[in-house]
Copies of this chain bind each other. A is one copy, B any other.
């Protein structure tokens, strides 16, 4: 065997122990439930992709962050950077997939980023995309999923900011900026949250944008609206001479109606004409969701990308989708104290062992309770009953059962509720029912 090594973990990666891991499973379960509710099925893709799949898709800066290496056959490969490019590859490789294709994928992605608060080298994306539909109802469903996901997890206050890349193009047209600079302009405006209005204007000026153009952009990024109607009315006027701008505002108007049809309450959706999103590939509606009352970056973002899949398949295939960030959602739930207290372990009850001689009897009891539908931990250490109770408490197990000589003779167990701090004698045949009643009655 090997010599002793100091145990360590790569910076920017993490272990998730219970109760964190239990809570992550809970969140993932909720999200899957919502995705399925909207008619989505899962897709799994490998972590390792060929370099020709990953390269040239994300822009230079992002590409630097891909973990790239040679496999044992000398092939140039990398760990996936997101779940969108692998989806596009799958779509191109499998033309037989019925379309529209609604898929979710909840999986880690890797980025060789410098680890800092909230930035990790391995983290989970929860993606949901609709491929093969040009319908604005598809975009509306994506945003409805974001709303339902956050609402079902217990978030009460959040905003889904919505815009369209057509509006961004309308701004380029209205401001008289060269259409070649569309992506550059979008990327600068995308920094608004980080560097503020002044910062954006300065960068535009530094990059040589004309003062007329800068004034137009300033108007869009510094005007605040009290309602979506106001934003739409402003947009209709502002963009009236731009074909793309008019199309964008019409798109937003229809989108609001569709969201209402799908049951998304209006107060959670906010037209934000300054929303640009950093990635080059967006073509239509775009969105970003931010939690209120917490200091966190956006927990979800996405939009329509009608041209990305063409790179792989050679033919047009419209697509729209979104992504929820598991780690940020988790942080939001913790910061707002929204996780159920009982969410520490899957185990319902610990069956203690009176002493070594009683192990078999306790094991029989554990087997019985498992068959009756409970998640049962049988204590397998060497400590005394008091310490066993401490073990249950440390793990967050709510119930503990004592089954010693007195109980055995009477055909009962002593059932301790560690949350309520109560203790009762219960007939063996009724234990499972009593525990289930307490758990479900919570």
User: Which chain B positions have C-beta within 8 A of A130?
Assistant: 380
**Is A270 interfacial (CB-CB < 8 Å)?**
no
User: Which chain B positions have C-beta within 8 A of A70?
Assistant: 69
**Is A41 interfacial (CB-CB < 8 Å)?**
yes
A370 to B80 CA separation, bound complex (whole angstroms): 33
* Contact indicator A370/B56 (Cβ below 8 Å): no
Kindly report which residue of chain B lies nearest to residue A64, judged by CB atoms.
B72
**Is A378 interfacial (CB-CB < 8 Å)?**
yes
A203 to B43 CA separation, bound complex (whole angstroms): 46
* Contact indicator B37/A17 (Cβ below 8 Å): no
Q: A133-B381, A312-B5, A371-B263 are in contact. Are A47 and B376 (CB under 8 A)?
A: no
| B-contact bits for A211-254, CB 8 A (1 contact / 0 none) | 00000000000000000000000000000000000000000000
Shortest beta-carbon distance, A58 to chain B, in Å?
A: 9
Shortest beta-carbon distance, A3 to chain B, in Å?
A: 7
Kindly report which residue of chain B lies nearest to residue A105, judged by CB atoms.
B21
| B-contact bits for A37-52, CB 8 A (1 contact / 0 none) | 1111111111111101
Kindly report which residue of chain B lies nearest to residue A359, judged by CB atoms.
B137
* Contact indicator B7/A97 (Cβ below 8 Å): no
User: Which chain B positions have C-beta within 8 A of A75?
Assistant: 10
A216 to B391 CA separation, bound complex (whole angstroms): 47
User: Which chain B positions have C-beta within 8 A of A375?
Assistant: 36-39
Shortest beta-carbon distance, A291 to chain B, in Å?
A: 23
* Contact indicator B90/A307 (Cβ below 8 Å): no
* Interface-located stretch among A174-182, A360-368, A402-410: A360-368
**Is A22 interfacial (CB-CB < 8 Å)?**
yes
Give the interface centre of A4, A7, A57 by most chain B CB atoms within 10 Å: A7
A8 to B89 CA separation, bound complex (whole angstroms): 7
| Residue from B19, B77, B94, B378 in contact with A141 in the complex, judged by beta carbons closer than 8 Å | B378
**Is A334 interfacial (CB-CB < 8 Å)?**
no
A43 to B137 CA separation, bound complex (whole angstroms): 39
| B-contact bits for A105-123, CB 8 A (1 contact / 0 none) | 0001010100000000110
Q: A21-B43, A380-B135 are in contact. Are A1 and B280 (CB under 8 A)?
A: yes
Q: A4-B314, A10-B46, A21-B43 are in contact. Are A346 and B141 (CB under 8 A)?
A: no
**Is A341 interfacial (CB-CB < 8 Å)?**
no
User: Which chain B positions have C-beta within 8 A of A345?
Assistant: 41
* Contact indicator B102/A46 (Cβ below 8 Å): no
**Is A24 interfacial (CB-CB < 8 Å)?**
yes
| Residue from B50, B92, B93, B364 in contact with A261 in the complex, judged by beta carbons closer than 8 Å | B364
**Is A436 interfacial (CB-CB < 8 Å)?**
no
Q: A72-B112, A311-B1 are in contact. Are A132 and B381 (CB under 8 A)?
A: yes
A69 to B263 CA separation, bound complex (whole angstroms): 49
Given contact pairs A22-B41, A258-B363, a sample of 9 additional A-B residue pairs in the complex whose CB atoms are under 8 Å apart: A7-B89, A9-B50, A14-B46, A15-B43, A21-B43, A134-B382, A135-B381, A261-B363, A262-B363
Residues of A at the B interface (CB closer than 8 Å) are 1-11, 13-19, 21-22, 24-25, 36-50, 52-53, 55-57, 65, 67, 69-73, 75, 77, 79, 89-90, 92-94, 97-100, 102-103, 108, 110, 112, 121-122, 130, 132-135, 137-138, 140-141, 257-258, 261-263, 280-281, 307-308, 310-314, 345-347, 350, 359-360, 363-364, 367, 370-371, 374-382, 391, 394-395
A-B pairs with beta carbons under 8 Å apart, 23 shown: A6-B52, A14-B46, A15-B46, A17-B43, A18-B41, A18-B43, A25-B42, A36-B347, A38-B370, A38-B375, A39-B350, A47-B110, A100-B379, A132-B381, A133-B380, A137-B378, A141-B378, A258-B360, A261-B360, A261-B363, A261-B367, A262-B363, A263-B371
